[in-house]
């Protein structure tokens, strides 16, 4: 990564414009009208990529210094696939209050905040409270990027199996950041029977060990359908399995799913259900890996989402904008839809522009666009 200027600086005249005295005129204009920041600074095209290093990839709590390479990689993806400038910020604190206050104080330098690799359940509170305090997009990619791409892939998979969202049974293993967001976006998209499991089984209100975030999740999911019990209990007759937890699901459990099942086993590097096993019992199989077909990859979502939000100077990223992003991704597959291709490639040049356009239009519909 490097930072480069967008204009030349080769002589005395250039220097007088780039810095003193010429820059003072811009400063005075912004002081008189802060909205001019959107036109004369890097702010409207720059996202802060913020982490505390507590949930990095599959590596866990490795701290802020070791998290920097991932944040740099994220910045490269933002630029390559969305034309968005990203600045990695690794914070030397895991305290919720300190993280929130730090980001609030940094916010004037950025057009949006991308939260990254912050462990659950702290990530939920951090995101929610930053949304309340800031008038720029705040997006936790581990939650919402994963959810958007999952919904897109599932939309196309259900087309192949002739399934309808309202009659589809979904089991999600993993009640962390990604599992919670996937459950919420599927409900938003019309799926009515969603069950989330953790290490102790179905997250339902008849359990007495639930955190506040899991209690709220239970009310949205298992409590509506009256389901409880173990992961195996949830699997029996299910149409869709979404894995964002790690571990291994025994084949005899997988075999109890409904006909024409859909399996998205997204743990890296080892999927919860190996594709060889999944293909024996499912019609459509996806993973989080690039060496198998149908990779559920966040890079399909977050660059275009921020590009679209920045293009209309959105004050937030709404549920409608996320669903619109998923729909745009699903539609790109078009006539190429097969069991081996339910989601486009990250290198499809249509992806970023299509997601950005859908997100910008949704921002206008949802009333958060300012341009």
Residue 107's domain is classified under what CATH number? Answer: 3.40.50.10380
How far is Cα 302 from Cα 308, in angstroms, rounded to an integer?
10
* 223 lies in the same domain as 260: yes
Is residue 74 annotated as a catalytic residue, yes or no? yes
- Final residue in a domain of this structure, among 115, 136, 157: 136
Both 296 and 344 in a single domain? yes
Mean pLDDT calculated for residue range 251-264: 96
Q: Report the C-alpha gap between 219 and 213 in whole angstroms.
A: 10
> Of 136, 151, 178, which residue sits at a domain end?
136
pLDDT of residue 120 exceeding 90, the answer is no
Catalytic residue among 74, 131, 184, 214: 74
User: In whole angstroms, what is the distance from residue 322 CA to residue 318 CA?
Assistant: 7
- CA geometry: angle 233, 239, 244, nearest 5 deg: 75
Q: Please state, in angstroms and rounded to a whole number, the distance separating the CA atoms of residues 67 and 91.
A: 10
Q: Does residue 252 share a domain with residue 177?
A: yes
Burial of residue 177 (number of CB atoms within 10 Å: 0-12, 13-18, 19+): buried
What is the percentage of the chain residues whose pLDDT exceeds 70? 100
Domain boundary among 109, 136, 163: 136
Q: Which of 12, 19, 200, 215 is catalytic?
A: 19
Cα–Cα distance list, 352 to 275, 287, 328 (Å): 28, 21, 10
Q: Does one domain contain both 111 and 231?
A: no
For tokens 């100077």, the residue is 313
pLDDT at residue 169 in the model? 96
Q: Distance between CA atoms of 70 and 88, rounded to whole angstroms?
A: 9
pTM over 0.75: yes
Residue 19 appears among annotated catalytic residues: yes
Are 113 and 206 in the same domain? no
Sheet arrangement for strand 138-140: 85-90, 46-51, 112-115, 138-140
Domain that holds residue 245: 142-371
- Convert the pLDDT of each residue in 336-361 to its tens digit: 999 999 999 999 999 999 999 999 99
Tokens representing 84? 């968005």
Same domain, 202 and 170: yes
d(CA 107, CA 286): 37
């Amino acid at each position: 990564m490097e930072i480069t200027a967008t204009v030349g600086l080769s002589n005395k005249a250039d220097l007088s414009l780039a810095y003193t005295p010429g820059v003072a005129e811009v400063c005075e204009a912004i002081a008189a009208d802060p909205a001019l920041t959107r036109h004369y600074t890097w702010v409207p095209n720059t996202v802060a990529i913020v982490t505390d290093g507590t949930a990095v990839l599959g590596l866990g709590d490795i701290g802020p210094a070791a998290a920097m390479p991932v944040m740099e990689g994220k910045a490269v993806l933002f630029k390559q696939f969305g034309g968005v400038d990203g600045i990695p910020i690794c914070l030397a604190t895991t305290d919720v209050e300190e993280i929130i206050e730090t980001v609030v104080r940094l916010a004037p330098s950025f057009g949006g905040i991308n939260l990254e690799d912050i462990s659950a359940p702290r990530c939920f509170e951090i995101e929610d409270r930053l949304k309340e305090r800031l008038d720029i997009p705040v997006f936790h990619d581990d939650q919402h990027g994963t959810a958007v791409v999952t919904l897109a892939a599932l939309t196309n998979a259900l087309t192949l199996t002739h399934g309808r969202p309202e009659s589809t049974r979904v089991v999600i293993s993993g009640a962390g950041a990604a599992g919670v967001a996937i459950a919420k976006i599927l409900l938003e998209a019309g799926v009515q029977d969603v069950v989330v499991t953790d290490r102790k089984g179905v997250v339902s209100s008849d359990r007495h060990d639930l955190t506040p975030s899991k209690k709220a999740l239970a009310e949205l999911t298992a409590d509506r359908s009256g389901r409880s019990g173990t992961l195996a209990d949830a699997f029996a007759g299910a149409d869709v399995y979404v894995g964002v937890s790690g571990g291994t699901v025994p084949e005899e459990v997988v075999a109890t799913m409904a006909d024409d099942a859909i399996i998205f086993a997204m743990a890296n590097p080892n999927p919860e259900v190996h594709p060889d096993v999944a293909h024996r019992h499912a019609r459509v199989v996806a993973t989080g890996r690039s060496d198998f077909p149908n990779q559920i990859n966040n890079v399909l979502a977050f660059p275009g989402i921020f590009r679209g939000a920045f293009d209309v100077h959105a004050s937030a990223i709404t549920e409608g904008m996320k669903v619109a992003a998923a729909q745009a991704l699903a539609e790109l597959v078009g006539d190429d839809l097969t069991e081996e291709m339910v989601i486009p490639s990250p290198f499809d040049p249509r992806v970023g522009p299509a997601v950005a356009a859908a997100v910008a239009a949704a921002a206008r519909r949802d009333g958060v666009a300012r341009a």
